[in-house]
Amino acid sequence: MAYFGKYETPEELLRDDSLSRDEKIRMLEDWRDDKKDYMRATEEGMVGEDRTERLRQIKKALATLQDEPPRS
State the pLDDT confidence band at 10, using cuts at 50, 70 and 90: very high
- Return the pLDDT at 35: 86
Rounded Cα gap, residues 43 and 65, in angstroms: 30
Three-state secondary structure string covering 5-31: CCCCCHHHHHHCCCCCHHHHHHHHHHH
Average pLDDT of every residue of the chain: 82
Angle value at C-alpha 56, between 66 and 60, nearest 5 degrees = 25
DSSP type of residue 41: H
27, with CB counted inside 10 A (0-12, 13-18, 19+), is: buried
pLDDT in tens, 14-36: 999 999 999 999 999 999 998 88
Q: Which residue has the higher pLDDT, 11 or 43?
A: 11
